[in-house]
Amino acid sequence: MSNDRIVIIGAGMAGAATAYFLTRKGLHNVLLLEREKLAGTQSTGRNAAILRTFIPNPLLNSLARESAEFYHNPPEGFATELLVNDVGVYLAARAENAATLNAWCDQNPEADVRRGDASKIYEQIPMLARGLEIAAYKADDGVLDVHSILQGFIRGARRDGAEMRLGIEFHSLQIRDSRLVGIETSDGFIEASKVIIANGAWASISSSFSGYSLPFTPYRRHLLITEVLPQVNPRWPVIWIVGEEFYFRPESGGLLMSGCDTVKVTPEQGVITDQAELERIADKAAHWLPTLADARVARAWSGMRTFAPDEMFVVGADPRLEGLYWVAGLGGHGITCSPVVGRIAADCVKEGKSNHPAASIMAPDRLTKHK
């Protein structure tokens, strides 16, 4: 009897987007498996939700722009809310970091970015400390509604036949006579002909993959949200200060901030908040927003950005084992880029390959060739 079940491990943005595009392609026997009791509680629920389509890496930049199209014009019935709050995103720099900022923009000439001095930022945010000289602005970038996007993918996939099972932990791949036959889980054996690994930071746990692991590394990053601040206008843009590793944007009546820390961790350490890191954010905030130096922190947390060694996404078939696929290593751009990532993953599963120009660069074979 043929078993055509496709199991996706992990109901974060990567797994949800993949499930959505698989079902859109007519593959309905899809099981989305999640260890937590809710979908999207790991990196997908712990990020800054910024849609920024000018990224230094030109390939990621083009994936981000293509994905932004989806967010600005989602398919009929995908969501009832707007998915992008297009407050705009500024990259800004002191004179000594101008070259870095200009290089980001020069590498991506197609991006519709307005470059100039930083005066427009100071007009909008007069309390920002002086010292920024140049800026690049993308007007239709901004803040993503992560919850609505995740639910849009999951709802769409389920409407088209996919099943989601929560509270079930994937333990290992099951291989018999060199063939992938399914997975072992906390709920027993699940038969499947195809298994898609979309479990974020846990893709780095090599013992789960029965000899077919790939080299992923999770890095921890902290975010905090201040108390409600009457001085903050919710229409302020996102401000990313290049070379200072500091960004902020309005959130819940206050400001969301990050000091862009990048600390290598195990998945278990990834959500442990480090007080010293929060103090570093507060120091940067006190420098750049001195009138808010005494603002209280309403909420702080950390999450993981998981990378392959070359920091490129890993999407597609594992050439070592028929039926094994990866949608992992989405680093710091997994929310922004998930529509294209999910579409490419679904092409690889359904057609055996994707014709997208980025597909060969993201394919897992680059990481298995030299092993």
Ligand X SMILES: Cc1cc2nc3c(=O)[nH]c(=O)nc-3n(C[C@H](O)[C@H](O)[C@H](O)COP(=O)(O)OP(=O)(O)OC[C@H]3O[C@@H](n4cnc5c(N)ncnc54)[C@H](O)[C@@H]3O)c2cc1C
Return the CA Rg of the chain.
21
Q: Applying CB under 6 A, what is the total number of residues that bind ligand X?
A: 39
| Element housing 183 (H / E) | strand 179-185
Q: For ligand X, which residue of 6, 15, 19, 250 counts as binding (CB under 6 A)?
A: 15
- Is there binding between residue 9 and ligand X (CB under 6 A)? yes
185 secondary structure, DSSP code? E
Query: By C-alpha distance, which of 19, 15, 14, 13 is closest to 350?
Result: 19
Nearer to ligand X, 98 or 147 (CB): 147
What is the identity of the amino acid at 182?
G
* Residue 12 touches ligand X, criterion: CB under 6 A: yes
Binding mask 267-306 for ligand X (x = CB under 6 A): ------------------------------------xxx-
Site for ligand X contains 169 (CB under 6 A):
yes
Upper half-sphere CA count for residue 230 (Cβ side, 13 Å): 0
Report the Cα–Cα distance between both ends of the chain, in Å, rounded: 35
CB of 50 to ligand X, least distance (A): 3
CB–CB of 201/42 below 8 Å?
Answer: yes
Q: Of 35 and 138, which has the nearer Cβ to ligand X?
A: 35
Q: Both tokens of residue 196? A: 């898609």
Evaluate whether 349 touches 325 at the Cβ level (below 8 Å).
yes
Residue 83's identity, in one-letter code, is L
Binding mask 336-355 for ligand X (x = CB under 6 A): x-------------------
Helix, strand, coil shares of the chain, percent, nearest 5, are 30, 30, 40
Segment near ligand X (CB under 6 A); pick from 7-15, 81-89, 95-103, 281-289: 7-15
Q: Is 50 in the site for ligand X (CB under 6 A)?
A: yes
Among 194, 221, 284, 343, binds ligand X (CB under 6 A): 221
Q: By the criterion CB under 6 A, which residues form the site for ligand X?
A: 9-15, 33-36, 41-44, 46-50, 169-170, 198-202, 221, 223, 303-305, 330-336
